[in-house]
Each structure stands twice: as C-alpha cells, then as structure tokens.
Amino acid sequence: MASGLAGKVRRARESDEFDLSGYDQARCQELAKDAFSEPFPLKEMVRISFVVGGGKLVRQKYSDDLPKHMVNALSAVGFQEDNSATVELSSAGKFKYHHDTNKNLKFVHVFPKLMEEAATAARPEGEEEAAEAPRGAPKTPEELLLQSDEADFTRYLQTHLVTYAQKQKLLELLKHRIAALEEIEGKMSRLEKMTSEEEQLFEAVGAEELREKVKQTRSELQNMVDAKRLTSAEKSDFLEQLESKIALTKEELSKAEADGKSKKAQALSEHLEVMHSTRSSIKSAEPAPLPPLKHGEQIRKLRLKLAELAQLEKDKRGNYSLDELKRLGERPELQEAVEELERRAKGWLESDEVFEERLQANLRLGGKAKAAPRATGGYSTVTGGAKPAKAKAKAPGTRNAFGALG
C-alpha cells in the first residue's frame, strides 16, 4: 500500500490539490510510480492537482525543472499529455500543465486511470455506447442511429429521442442518407468510379435497412401525434405544416373532380377529412411539458456557485480576503464541471435553441419564487413526472395524419 504523499493521493475520493515544494526528479518518479501505476477504485473521474511552481512569492520553494520532472515521471508510468483533458471518464490516464494566473501558481493536473468495472458502472446514461465502442465503431449519435441493428435502434428511439422534434430530425437524417445511397447506386449502375467517401458510405449500412428505420420512425411520430405529446413549439410547427398540406390536398381534390377521376377524388376527400380531424384534435390539446434536464440539480448548484462568485467579484472590486481569493480560484474548475455536465445533458439531435430553453427552465426550478414560472419560447414548465393529457374516448382520430406531412 502506498504511503506518504502517494498514499494521500490514492485515498482521494474527489478532486484535490497537493504541493510538491522541495521535490526533485527522484521523488517525482517515486510519487508517480506509487500513486498512479495502478487504477483508482473510483466510479467518477477526479482531478489530482500538483503545485509545481509559481510567482516570485513562492518561486524559491520549487525547482525550475520541477514541471518537467513531474511530466516525465507521469509519462514513464503510461500517462499521456492532453491539454484538452477534463474531469470526465474519457480523460483517464492523461495529464496537463496549467499556469493559473488567478492564483499565480503552476500546476500539473492528473486524471487517473480508473478500474474498468467502476468506470463502466459510472458511465453516464446515453454515453455508454460511444464510450464502449471499439476503434472504427460509430461514435456520434448520428452514426449510432444510422448503423445500429433493429434492437438498438428501437432502444435509442425510446431513450434518447424523447421529443417529436428529435424524432423528426432523425427522419430527415435517414431520408438524406437514403438519397445519398441511391445516388451512389446510380453511379455504380453507370459503371462510374466512386470516391473513397462514397465507398465508405455504401459499405456502412444499406438503403433497405434505412427504409425500415424510416417506417419505424414514422410510426413513432404518429404515436406521439395520437397521444398529443407535442410541446407548444412542436404543436405550432406541426399545425403550420398540416395547414400547408390541407391547402395542397384541396387543390389536388379540385383538379381530380374537374378531370372526372372519382376514385382519386374520393381518396383525397377521405384524406382531407383525416387531416381536418387531426387539426381539430391537436389544436384543442394541452402542450406537452418540456423534458426535464439530465443532471439538472447538479447544474443548478454549480451555476449558483458561479453566480455567487461573479457577485463577490463585483462587490469587492479586488479587495479580497484570503478565503475569498481561494473561492475565486475555484472558478475555472466549477466552469469546467458545469460545461461538461451541460454537454452530457443535451439530447441526441436536440437543437441548440430547445436545449437552451431546457437549461433556462431548469435554472428557474432553483428560484425562490412560489409562483409557477411563465412559459418561455413556446414551452411549458418542466415537470419531471407530468404526463400529457389523455384524449377523450370519442375524440376524433388522427391515424395516418403524420403521413400527410411527408
């Protein structure tokens, strides 16, 4: 078991800071070996920060070569330097050098390797697929959705694409890929040479498989219309598209009647009736609530701390106590943590505008006001367990109304 400073490092259960004043090359090598040769038994990433230098007030405590000694010692035990490393599982086994101008100190931040079973158990929901993917496997949500098998695709639809807008964006993605594959197939039939990008695209997933995904996505969208699970903004967009389709269908109906095509006219008339029924049903339905934000409580707490620091900086105008300086020195780490949590909280294929609405709604949940927050940007208040209102037993049907939108 490691002892001394290495023992303290290995017993860390959250991000911590250690001073390496007086350390030389041999002690750095010993510390790196004893502290970081074995993975940490943690479920979440931590940042172990070593002070390796500073301004003129503390400069005499540290060797000028100390940063280089510590960096080389970490490299010798299998760690890699990465200036983009942060407090997340993907940064395990990395380190970075940082000069904190607020504290006027120089740091080597280390992100330890974690035991495999602990890291797997702690991997955030919605990120496990990309994190576990072997080299060459799909990494982005778009790639996962396009290349997944039927079982995984169904699971992604249910767990990662919870809103109508997200599923609609998926439908557009699938259609775009099918069109690209059809163009490639046309080139092949004409014996034209494909580019390397087109070859990779053609080998990844077939058009028929994607067409099945289109059917499944359309079915999911129709189910959401039937259940009236549209947010206020989605409801407005849906009705606007439906109005356009109704106008177009009326024109086609008039032309069919003028041409004496009775069967086509009858089919169009029935389709028009379905769309009118759908319009009435959706107009009268209450908007579905905005989905709650993953990691919402943690994000609120961190944002509150950052707001308090901003207010402190404004009030004190540079006249800080030592305790206040220490608090302000924690701001970069707080900012880094909240940005990472917000990155994880964003839904697959979710627009920046909708995500910002959810962020703001989540922050309002932490307010002291007792009155219900006003709806913003076309969305209703976040209510984690709220269910959309059920349709009345004799409500007009909306089956196949989504298909009218194309």
List CB contacts of 184: < 8 A, sequence separation 6 or more: 194, 198, 201, 202
For position 330, what pLDDT does the model report? 83
Spatial separation of the C-alpha atoms in residues 168 and 177, rounded to whole Å: 14
Considering the chain, what is the average pLDDT of its residues? 83
Residues 6+ apart with CB under 8 A from 115: 39, 40, 41, 42
Domain boundaries, given as residue ranges, for the chain: 4-119, 137-226, 296-365
> Which residues 6+ apart lie within 8 Å of 62 measured at CB?
20, 21, 51, 52, 53, 54, 106
Residues 266-277 pLDDT 10s: 999 999 999 999
**Distant-in-sequence, close-in-space partners of 111: CB < 8 Å, separation ≥ 6:** 45, 46, 47, 48, 85, 86, 87, 91, 92, 93, 94, 95
State the pLDDT at residue 322.
83
- Tell me the Ramachandran region of residue 325: left when phi exceeds 0, alpha when psi lies from -120 to 50, beta otherwise: alpha
pLDDT value at position 43? 85
**What pLDDT shows up at residue 243?**
94
Query: Which residues of the chain carry a pLDDT beneath 70?
Result: 1-3, 116-139, 366-406
Among 172, 143, 147, which Cα is nearest to 241's? 172
Residues facing 95 on adjacent strands: 81, 110
For the beta carbon of residue 327, count every other beta carbon within 10 angstroms: 16
> Quick one: pLDDT at residue 399?
44
The per-residue pLDDT for range 131-177, each reduced to its tens digit, is 444 444 446 899 899 999 999 999 999 889 999 999 999 999 999 99
State residue 367's pLDDT score: 61
Q: How far apart are CA 186 and CA 178, in angstroms?
A: 12
pTM of the full predicted structure?
A: 0.58
What pLDDT sits at residue 332? Answer: 87
- pLDDT confidence of residue 3: 67
